[in-house]
Amino acid sequence: MFLEINNLKKSFGTGESRVEVLKGIQFSVEKGEICVLLGPSGSGKSTLLNIIGGIDEADSGSIVIEGEKIEDMNEKTLTRYRRKHLGYVFQMYNLIPNLTVKENMEVGAYLSDHPLDINDLLKTLGLYDHRDKLPNQLSGGQQQRTSIGRAIIKNPSILLCDEPTGALDYHTSKEILKLIEDVNQKYGNTVIMVTHNDAIKNMADRVIRLRDGQIRKNYVNETKIAAGDLDW
Ligand code: ADP
Ligand code: MG
């Protein structure tokens, strides 16, 4: 398996206010898979993504990527893990306001030895004609495309997306999800995505449902999940 999540536990707070947010999360993801995390608000989806992303630390359990355990890595290898393997897309685009579309994407390329060709990527993202615009000259969907470009330009093996369409209307959300699928097919990045958008039914290879800090369902679909198959 490309990525293995083993018995992850995480609590916040101490004493009486201590809350166990992840209660032993266990699953694996194959290379190139689109894995979608579902679950009600507060069920620990972002916490799980942040632990996989090296932003937060689990209390116990392990993450193994291509045979390498994350918690065995020292600071230097952890930095390398983040740089080599991870791209992050959030609900808010967090673009740098005084840099153009192309420059915002170049920021993402800065830490990579082998970035993707930026003009090729701008075209894939439908941003080539907008490359010299500033973020405030763009629609929400175009800003999110730019943030996907910034995440993907270093060609990370894993693209983590935390509610990437949470701030977008229905139509634009579908476009963004389609784009993430296109990127996954073109560049082969494994995608782990939190979303509530039901356009997901057609593109997910795996759907994991969290509730109360545990995995309630783990669906796998070889031929993609047919609409209507999921019990939401
Ligand atoms: P989701 O993304 O599924 O909505 P989160 O992972 O953001 O859920 O949060 C899960 C639970 O953990 C929530 O009850 C939230 O309040 C709590 N939580 C998340 N981060 C922190 C933190 N840094 N400190 C304290 N509690 C937190
Ligand atoms: Mg969240």
Query: In the structure encoding, which two tokens stand for residue 186, read together?
Result: 């073109």
From the CB of 21, is ligand 1 less than 6 Å away? yes
The ligand whose atoms approach the alpha carbon of 37 most closely is: 1
Q: Give the integer Cα–Cα distance in Å for 21 and 63.
A: 17
Token pair 């935390």 is at which residue?
A: 162
Q: What is the pLDDT of residue 223?
A: 57
CB 218 within 8 A of CB 230: no
Q: Give the integer Cα–Cα distance in Å for 51 and 43.
A: 14
Residue 210 alpha carbon, nearest atom of ligand 1: 3
Residues near 218 by beta carbon (within 8 Å), at least 6 away in sequence: 27, 206, 207, 208, 209
CB 63 within 8 A of CB 69: yes
Closest CA to 105 of 123, 84, 91: 123
Q: What is the pLDDT of residue 226?
A: 52
| 172: number of Cβ within 10 Å | 17
Q: Quickly list DSSP for 15-36.
A: GGG-EEEEEEEEEEE-TT-EEE
φ and ψ of 76, to 5 deg: -65, -45
Give me the residue spans of the domains in the chain.
30-57+75-229
Q: What is the pLDDT of residue 100?
A: 98
The count of C-alpha atoms lying within 13 angstroms of the C-alpha of 100, restricted to the half-sphere facing its C-beta, is: 10
Token pair 């992850």 is at which residue?
A: 8
SS3 category, 209: strand
Task: Determine the distance separating the centroid of ligand 2 and the alpha carbon of 165, expressed in angstroms.
Answer: 12
Q: What is the pLDDT of residue 175?
A: 93
From the CB of 44, is ligand 1 less than 6 Å away? yes
Query: Per CATH, which fold does 30-57+75-229 belong to?
Result: Rossmann fold (3.40.50)
pLDDT tens-place values along the chain, 232 residues long: 899 999 999 999 999 999 999 999 999 999 999 999 999 999 999 999 999 998 898 999 999 988 888 777 677 777 888 887 899 999 999 999 999 999 999 999 988 888 999 999 999 999 999 999 999 999 999 999 999 999 999 999 999 999 999 999 999 999 999 999 999 999 999 999 999 877 776 789 999 999 999 999 888 876 565 555 554 4
The protein residue whose alpha carbon is closest to atom 5 in ligand 1 is 44
Q: What is the pLDDT of residue 229?
A: 52
From the CB of 41, is ligand 1 less than 6 Å away? yes
Task: Determine the distance separating the centroid of ligand 1 and the alpha carbon of 105, expressed in angstroms.
Answer: 30
